[in-house]
Amino acid sequence: MNTTDKKIAEVLAKFGEPMAGNVWRVQGTAVIYHKALERVAAQAKIQFDAPTIVRAERDEAVILVTGRMGERVEWSIGEALIGVNYRVSGKQAAYVYAMAEKRAKDRVILKLIELHGLVYSEEEADEFKNSRPMAGDQQVEVEKTEKADKTKVEVAASDTSVEADLKQKITKAKSINAVTDLMLHADTQKILNDLPEGVRDEIRDFAKARLVELGWPTKKAA
């Protein structure tokens, strides 16, 4: 585990969240699930002021969000512009305000827990792709696609088999680092991305339980 990963793991551990199952890398960039940041915010007792709408258009929203954690105060801007840093495909509805708010809040959370610049929220995925020098290589392959409509028996059976296999590997991991390395591995991330969100969350929780069994800290340091 490199210095950056160690820092990320240590900070997340303070709020009861493991790095394994919550963070992955895209061309060297650490990316974290929005849901994980929401759980961290709850554990850290972060409070948000009412957002300020900076720009409100049909296809664009820019929102200023301020967050407080104890005596600390941080603010950030969240932007969402359809076709530029927010992609909508097929019949998917566009929620520019919700996306802008998510991005702003996630940035504030990362600032407050001092991980800003070390890890990025998954909600920044479109910005990674459009504004970074290596944009073509930095597509985050974990865009959540709704798979609740999977009704074919063979697909469900396949998901169950993959889930069982991955859980078996997690169980066989004999150390905290082994579990973390397994969950961060590119092959594991590809498998997780192809699974329905509910199954993916279950595997993440299973990995967390295994980490606890191996002695991983679950409570915020005093």
Per the prediction, the chain carries an average pLDDT of 82
d(C-alpha 4, C-alpha 117), whole Å: 10
pLDDT-based confidence at residue 63 (cuts at 50, 70, 90): very high
15 SS3 class: coil
d(C-alpha 159, C-alpha 163), whole Å: 6
| H helix or E strand, kind and range, residue 29 | strand 29-32
d(C-alpha 174, C-alpha 13), whole Å: 19
3-class secondary structure for 100-147? HHHHHHHHHHHHHCCCECCEEEHHHHHHHHHHCCCHHHCCCCCCCCCC
* pLDDT exceeds 60 at position 130: no
CB atoms closer than 10 angstroms to residue 45: 9
Cα angle vertex 18, ends 208, 116, to 5°? 160
**Alpha-carbon separation of residue 69 from 43, 44, 127, 168 (angstroms):** 10, 7, 27, 39
d(C-alpha 221, C-alpha 133), whole Å: 38
Q: In terms of Cα–Cα distance, which of 38, 40, 67 is closest to 51? A: 67
Least confident of 120-124, 167-171, 217-221: 217-221
Cα angle vertex 195, ends 189, 197, to 5°? 100
Backbone CA torsion sign across 133, 139, 140, 144 = positive
pLDDT-based confidence at residue 218 (cuts at 50, 70, 90): low
Q: What pLDDT shows up at residue 91?
A: 75
Q: What pLDDT shows up at residue 41?
A: 97
pLDDT-based confidence at residue 153 (cuts at 50, 70, 90): very low
Predicted TM-score (pTM) of this structure: 0.69
Beta-bridged to residue 65, according to DSSP, are 76
